[in-house]
Every structure is written in C-alpha cells, then in structure tokens.
C-alpha cells in the first residue's frame, strides 16, 4: 500500500510536525508562506490529505472531480474558509479540531474585554510614545467589569467558557443569544434572549461566539450596533465577517460605543482602515488559539483525524 501523502499548508509546532512526519509521507510548507488557490488546486491532485488553516481559502473550484485528495484535516475549529457543500459533493471528508482551543480563545475574549474596558492599549501607546505625564485622578478612566451585563452571542463551547470566566472570575451577569435555551446556562444564572436585539439592548459588553459563514455574515450590522446600549463594548474573537466594520468605526467615533476589542477581520491580514486611527479599539492579530499548549493540541487533534483516515476508521471530528 502506498504511504498516505499529507500536505501541511503552514508550519505547525515542531513536536506535532515531527509526530506527523513519523507516520506519514508529509510535505511541510518550510517557508510558511500562505499558499495560493492555484497551489491548493494542484495539491488536491497529488496529496491524499491536505491540512489547511484559516489562512487558506478552499472554494468550490478546488473540489474538482477526480482529485486524489480524500480528506481536508483543518487545523482549527472554524471552517468557513472551506466550501463544505462542495467538499461533500466531491466525496471529500472534512475534519476540524474542536474543544482544544476553547480555553485559549475564551482567555483572549477576556483579554480584549479587560484591555478595552481599562484602556490598556491607549495607555501603553501613550507611555511608549513618551506622552505619559504622571498619575492623576482623571487619567485614562475606564470601566469596571463587576456588576455589568455580558451579552454572549452564540452559546457553544467558547461562548460558555467566556461566560464562565466573566461570571465566576469577574462578577458579571450573563445573558446569551442562541437558537434555543441551553442547559449549561443554569450554572451561570445566564438569561436566555430569544432575539438578538434584546440582548444587544441590555448588555454592557457584547462578545461574539458564532461560527463564520453565510448565516452569520454581517449579523452585527449598522442596525444591530445602533441597538447596542450607549457606552457599551463589542468584543469579537469569532470571525471578522460577522461585523460591519464601517458601522463599528462610526459608532466608536461618535461615542455610541465606548470601545471594542477585535481579534479577527474579514480579509486577514488586512485590518479595516477606518479602525486603525481610533484609540478606543483594541486590535489583535488573530491570537485566539495562540498558546503553545493549544497549538500542539490542535496538531494532535488533526493528527488523530488523519490516523483514523489512514486506517479507514470513523473520523473523530468529521464536519463533512
């Protein structure tokens, strides 16, 4: 039997690249440059497995009939960069890495909440720019988290982990918007909102935890932002396409929103220009899962799916 050929589209932590290399015929992207759609199309014909990341685009055109590739083992939990319907139609399985990046991403949502609320980015820029004139009672006054309402949009693993940190760690009251009430909400005393507008209107902080893709594109549009409570904060560790960034910039400029914290953007690595000059938005470069522990665990999870595929067993994290 021919060895299973695997293409890893970006560098992974060394330990997981090594583990993968010991078991399969692996090609690594030594230069770690993003692959083009043409590179990925060509790879579909010569590899059994492609292990992409969020920085790759796999549109319908990639899934042409007659390709060698039978598994897309995504390194990441979100898979809106892959045309799932086209993969299914071509009989190509798709897996992801759920669970292992929940804590890291929830930690980053709290990082953004605290940075935005306590004006940490502004303060650091001021200090490094040599503009800090010393302590004074009215300097860079922010907002407390304790006693405030956190509205969680999407109450899956990461939404729940963020809510738990905010409630147990910071004394926040939790409300959430989801398709239906969730049993996990009881332990947090979290209030279910059947419609997004009521959640937005009652929340001091809104944190987004919905998957990307057509269903959630522009969910937080100009009208939704107008519905948000004056002086509130928007946090996004989900996907950039969920937010209308022009409307967000406008609300941050007018003071309707006190601040925002973003880790994701619609066309990464581009950042919407309207945000770059605003002091009251924290902008991070998609760091949600960026801990050593999590990135190794993501690799191990992708590896488990590739191993199952090689044995012809059920894929543990199959999404298509």
What are the residue numbers of the active site?
Answer: 239, 268, 286
Sheet order of strands, 49-51 included: 25-28, 5-8, 49-51, 71-73, 93-95
Nearer to ligand 8YV, 79 or 233 (CB): 79
Our finding on whether 76 is near ligand 8YV (CB under 6 A) is yes
Our finding on whether 53 is near ligand 8YV (CB under 6 A) is yes
Question: For tokens 């930690």, what's the residue?
Answer: 107
- Kindly state the smallest distance separating residue 16's Cβ from ligand 8YV, in Å: 13
Whole-angstrom Cα distance, residue 295 to residue 104?
10
Mark 187-216 with x for binding to ligand 8YV (rule: CB under 6 A) and - for no binding.
Answer: ------------------------------
Mark 87-106 with x for binding to ligand 8YV (rule: CB under 6 A) and - for no binding.
Answer: --------------x-----
Our finding on whether 261 is near ligand 8YV (CB under 6 A) is no
Among 26, 49, 54, 71, binds ligand 8YV (CB under 6 A): 54
297 sits in which H/E element: helix 292-311
Nearer to ligand 8YV, 58 or 77 (CB): 77
List the one residue out of 253, 192, 204, 252 whose CA is nearest residue 228.
204
Our finding on whether 77 is near ligand 8YV (CB under 6 A) is yes
Q: Spell out where the chain has E strands.
A: 5-8, 25-28, 49-51, 71-73, 93-95, 149-153, 173-177, 191-193, 205-208, 232-236, 257-262, 281-283
| Under 8 Å between Cβ of 205 and 113 | yes
How many residues sit close enough to ligand 8YV to count as binding (CB under 6 A)?
9
Hey, which residues does 191 pair with through a beta bridge? 175
> Where does this chain bind ligand 8YV (CB under 6 A)?
53-54, 75-78, 101, 288-289
């Amino acid at each position: 039997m021919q060895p299973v050929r695997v293409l890893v589209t970006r560098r992974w932590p060394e330990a997981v690249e090594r583990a993968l290399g010991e078991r399969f015929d692996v090609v690594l992207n030594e230069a770690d440059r993003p692959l083009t759609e043409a590179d990925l199309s060509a790879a579909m014909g010569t590899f059994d497995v492609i292990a992409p990341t969020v920085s790759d685009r796999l549109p319908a055109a990639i899934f042409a009939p007659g390709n060698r590739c039978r598994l897309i083992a995504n390194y990441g939990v979100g898979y809106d960069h892959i045309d799932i319907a086209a993969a299914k139609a071509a009989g190509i399985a798709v897996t992801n890495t759920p669970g292992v990046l929940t804590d890291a991403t929830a930690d980053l949502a709290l990082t953004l909440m605290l940075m935005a609320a306590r004006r940490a980015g502004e303060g650091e820029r001021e200090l490094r720019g040599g503009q800090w004139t010393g302590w004074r009672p009215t300097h860079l006054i922010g907002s407390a988290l304790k006693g405030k309402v956190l509205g969680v949009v999407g109450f899956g693993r990461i939404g729940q982990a963020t809510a738990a940190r905010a409630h147990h760690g910071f004394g926040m009251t939790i409300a959430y918007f989801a398709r239906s009430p969730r049993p996990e909400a009881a332990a947090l005393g979290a209030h279910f909102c059947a419609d997004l507008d009521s959640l937005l209107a009652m929340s001091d902080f809104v944190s987004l935890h919905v998957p990307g893709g057509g269903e959630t594109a522009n969910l937080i549009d100009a009208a939704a932002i107008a519905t948000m409570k004056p002086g509130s904060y928007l946090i996004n560790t989900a996907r950039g396409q969920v937010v209308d960034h022009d409307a967000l910039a406008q609300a941050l400029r007018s003071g309707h929103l006190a601040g925002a914290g973003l880790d994701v953007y619609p066309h990464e690595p581009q950042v919407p220009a309207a945000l770059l000059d605003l002091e009251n938005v924290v902008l991070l470069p998609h760091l949600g899962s960026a801990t050593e522990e999590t990135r190794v665990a993501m690799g191990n999870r992708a590896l488990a799916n590739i191993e199952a595929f090689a044995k012809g067993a059920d894929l543990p994290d199959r999404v298509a």
